Chain A
Amino acid sequence: MAEPSAAVRSFDAEALPHLDALYRVALRLTADPTQAEDLVQDTMLKAYRSWRQYRPGTNAKGWLLTILRNTFINDYRRRKIEPIAMDLEAVEPHALFRAVEEIDPEGTFFSRIVDEKVLEAVDTLPPEFREVLVLSDVEGMSYAEIAETLELPLGTVKSRLFRARRLLQARLYAYAVEMGYIKPRESRDG
């Protein structure tokens, strides 16, 4: 077999380390392991073919995720029935802490929820909320990197994150109540 060229070597070194993150994000976007694999594969091929557009030493993870997301929107999203559009600004759930501060102020019930169930709850968020939350709070990207990757204003990233976290907390709380990890106080009205 021929020696790999310099281009392949630099792609291998800069892009392949991000496969795990790309696969995790693809799973959240597609909510389907087979589609997620196809999406990651398509992304890596596209990335390789446009590798000369990547400036070495810049944010390779963000660059790859931009390709992944654009590929998803252009080639994958239309395969699925879109959820009913919701007014993102109208989502204004309350902070969960107020509801649980007297029964579980440290949120120990969070630690009883297994990863798989947390991610299932993430998957129920509207796509616009899900992507910022996954990139920030699961993948550890900075708000600025997310704004660049998703081509959104920084303020939009921040306001979506704010609502996404509150919405997710409400869903996790509902699941924890259902599983008996936390017992809501009796309603004073009832």
Chain B
Amino acid sequence: MADRIDCRQATEQLHDYLKQEMTPALAEEIRAHLDRCRPCFRQALFEENFLRLLEGCARQRCPGTLRARIVALLQVEAERD
């Protein structure tokens, strides 16, 4: 079966593919393309590392002082109701 998408179409949609933001049919076409195209497969690994870097940035927590202040304010609001 010949590729129905070319390298440009495949690489431009790699992030959407990696985030599973496409129809199963299109995802299957991209997967098939990556199976047979070494440069695009390599780029997919690269883009995966890029996305992983950003996912890792979600570690920062709300400061405890802010959390406590909000909980106290909500309590005041509730008592006013």
**A, B bound:** yes
| B-binding residues in A (CB < 8 A) | 2, 4-5, 7-8, 11-12, 16, 19-24, 27, 37, 40-41, 44-45, 48-49, 95, 97, 100-101, 105-108, 110-111, 113, 115, 118-119, 122, 133, 136-140, 142-143, 158, 161-162, 165, 169, 172
Complex CA gap A97/B49 in Å reads: 11
Complex CA gap A187/B11 in Å reads: 25
Within 8 A of A (CB), among B1-19: 11-12, 15-16, 19
Complex CA gap A115/B57 in Å reads: 5
A68 to chain B, nearest CB (A): 12
Chain A residues contacting B75 (CB-CB under 8 Å) are 4, 8
Select one of A7, A16, A101, A115 contacting B78, CB under 8 A.
A7
Complex CA gap A155/B81 in Å reads: 43
Select one of B19, B59, B67, B71 contacting A136, CB under 8 A.
B19
**Cβ-based interface call for B25 (8 A):** no
User: How many residues on the B side are at the interface (Cβ–Cβ under 8 A)?
Assistant: 39
Chain A residues contacting B67 (CB-CB under 8 Å) are 16, 19
Chain A residues contacting B74 (CB-CB under 8 Å) are 8, 11-12, 44-45, 48
Q: What DSSP secondary structure best describes chain B's contact surface?
A: helix
Cβ-defined contact, B66 with A110, below 8 A: no
The CB with the most chain A CB atoms within 10 A, among B21, B55, B81, is that of B21
Chain B residues contacting A16 (CB-CB under 8 Å) are 67, 70-71
Chain B residues contacting A23 (CB-CB under 8 Å) are 60-63, 66
Chain B residues contacting A40 (CB-CB under 8 Å) are 62, 66, 70
Chain A residues contacting B58 (CB-CB under 8 Å) are 21, 24, 138-140
Contact with A along B19-42 (1 / 0, CB 8 A): 101000000000000000001001
Q: Known: A19-B70, A41-B70, A101-B43. Contact between A110 and B50, CB under 8 A? A: yes
